[in-house]
Amino acid sequence: MRSVSIFGATGSIGVNTVDLIRREGGARAFRTVALTGGRNIARLADQARELQAELAVTAHPECYAALKEALAGTGTEVAAGPEAIAEAADRRADWVMSAIVGAAGLLPGFRALSHGSTLALANKESLVTAGPLLMAEARRHGACILPVDSEHSAVFQALVGEDIAAVERVIITASGGPFRTWNASQLAKATPAQAVAHPNWSMGQRISIDSASLFNKALELIETKEFFGIDPEKIEVLVHPQSIVHALVGFNDGALMAHLGPADMRHAIGYALNWPERRKLPVERLDLARIGQLDFEAPDPVRFPALWLARQVMETGGLAGAAFNAAKEVALDHFIAGAIPFPAMAEVVEQVLARLSCDSGLTIAPVDLDMVLQTDHLARVRAEEAVQEMQ
């Protein structure tokens, strides 16, 4: 029986993962080693009960008692706190879903790789902050990383049987988000509620807002470089409002292989769950005659500077990804709290990158996760300062 663990089980990706596992037979077909969540204790307890999980962990120590009570008499062990989440990854599972949001997802994924688990990676922040370390850890332990981000799953699928040396370019698409057609003065007044309303995808709050600012696509540019080892000049972003084509791979004979599918994360999650097989999945079948038209346009770097910042990060390399992600997370927190306007998120990130480049130098390649986490911490401090100066 295959063993699985899900980090971030209570979130959007986590719930879709549980749904697919349920459809494949749930506790009869899989041994669930660990499920982790944050504050959604009722959902975590329901999932643990349904999948007969051996361990359930909440990230928050103050939620421990509630989780313990909810799982009393079930045989599921309960733990709490970030360290307990990292330790849950030391309980080896064959297949591990990394779907915690933010830099908090880095450590458990890293630990899972050190036990040779197959890591289904939704947490793009892991590759952005520590790509080379993560890929090296996988190689060292003969572990496999499978992309779950829809664009990267699409590229991965387009590359099956192909020679990476024949790849001339990789194009990842962006819907453009709810503000695709907004002008600068409208963007200055955009609210978190407007930013979260993604036109095509149903996702967690943070990634939805990142989609509106194109910071999500910025993270994905870096993710593409790190995962596939492709030069940044060969990676392009194309705005495609229908979110039907997820990525295209261009080869040296002029062919473009496109991956099309509905905007349903269960495709990419299911592909990673069933890999290397392809199995039937409960996603809508596209009716292209009804869809009729697919549109493409170039992204606007003036209204959406996040992509340009990501190019800078890829050029700098080293610790720049960790600084970029941390600054973005802090800026996002302040936008959600109503403390800074929507366009100020990119300003905060730009300032943090500039300050840290002068202070400490971001070009140094990290040798371990501690260096990454130190840069993450420093960038958060600088981002808080930048936000304070804007008040």
Binding residues for NADPH: 10-13, 38-40, 123, 125, 204
Tokens 């009716």, located at residue = 287
Give the annotated binding-site residues for 1-deoxy-D-xylulose 5-phosphate: 124, 150-151, 175, 198, 211, 216-217, 220
The token pair that represents 342 in the structure block = 């929507």
Q: What is the DSSP string of 20-34?
A: HHHHTTGGGTEEEEE
Positions 110 through 129 that interact with ligand NDP (CB under 6 A): 122-125
Nearer to ligand NDP, 109 or 355 (CB): 109
Q: In the numeric block, which tokens belong to residue 174?
A: 């962006």
- Nearest approach in angstroms of CB 139 to Mg ion is 25
Q: Could you tell me which residues come within 8 angstroms of residue 333 by beta carbon, excluding any fewer than 6 positions away?
A: none
| CB closer to ligand NDP out of 124 and 355 | 124
Shortest Å, Cβ 264 to ligand NDP? 9
How would you label 322-351 residue by residue, b for 16+ Cβ within 10 Å and e otherwise? bbbbbbbbbbbbbbeeeebbbbbbbbbbbb
**Which of 75, 140, 126, 70 lies closest to 96, judged by CA?**
126
Q: Per CB under 6 A, which of residues 227..286 are in contact with ligand NDP?
A: 265
Task: Mark the segment that binds ligand NDP (CB under 6 A) among 12-20, 281-289, 307-315, 325-333.
Answer: 12-20
Question: How many Cα atoms sit within 13 Å of 339 on the Cβ side?
Answer: 15
317: left (phi over 0), alpha (psi -120 to 50) or beta: left
Stretch that binds ligand NDP, among 7-15, 244-252, 269-277, 311-319 (CB under 6 A): 7-15
- What is the size of the binding site for ligand NDP (CB under 6 A)? 29
Q: Does 149 bind Mg ion (CB under 5 A)?
A: yes
Considering the rule CB under 6 A, would residue 175 count as an interface residue with ligand NDP?
A: no
Using rule CB under 6 A, residue 14 touches ligand NDP: yes
Residue of this chain nearest to ligand NDP (CB atom): 11
Q: Which residues contact 381 (CB under 8 A, 6 or more apart)?
A: none
State yes or no: residue 149 binds ligand NDP (CB under 6 A): yes
Binding of residue 38 to ligand NDP (CB under 6 A): yes
